[in-house]
Amino acid sequence: MPKYINNYKPNYTPQYLLLFEYCDKYKCVPQRFIIYKQWAIGEWYYEIKKKIINHDKYSINIYTQLLINEFTKEDLIKYYDL
């Protein structure tokens, strides 16, 4: 893992917090069609994963925020075949 990720201090938006709440409650990441607390969390997660395609600052920010949760981390590893 790059050094700058170890020193990263995330600034979580409500979307990330709701995603992590869902993951912790159901012990998995949401599928694309899932709506949780009147919010299309599955679609949001699907779209945010697609944005992590290059190594620019924005992609690294998204990636490091998602690594905090064990379920999103595992899903990202599978998705990007790391």
Give the pLDDT confidence of 48-70 residue by residue, as tens digits: 888 887 767 777 888 888 888 99
Provide the pLDDT confidence category of residue 5 given band limits of 50, 70 and 90: very low
pTM: 0.77
Kindly list the domain boundaries of the chain, sorted by start residue.
Answer: 14-79
Provide the pLDDT confidence category of residue 7 given band limits of 50, 70 and 90: very low
Q: Which residue has the tokens 């990636």?
A: 63
Give the pLDDT confidence of 32-52 residue by residue, as tens digits: 999 999 999 999 999 988 888
Q: Are 37 and 43 in contact (CB under 8 A)?
A: no
Q: Which two tokens stand for residue 47?
A: 């779209």
Q: Which is more confidently placed, 14 or 5?
A: 14
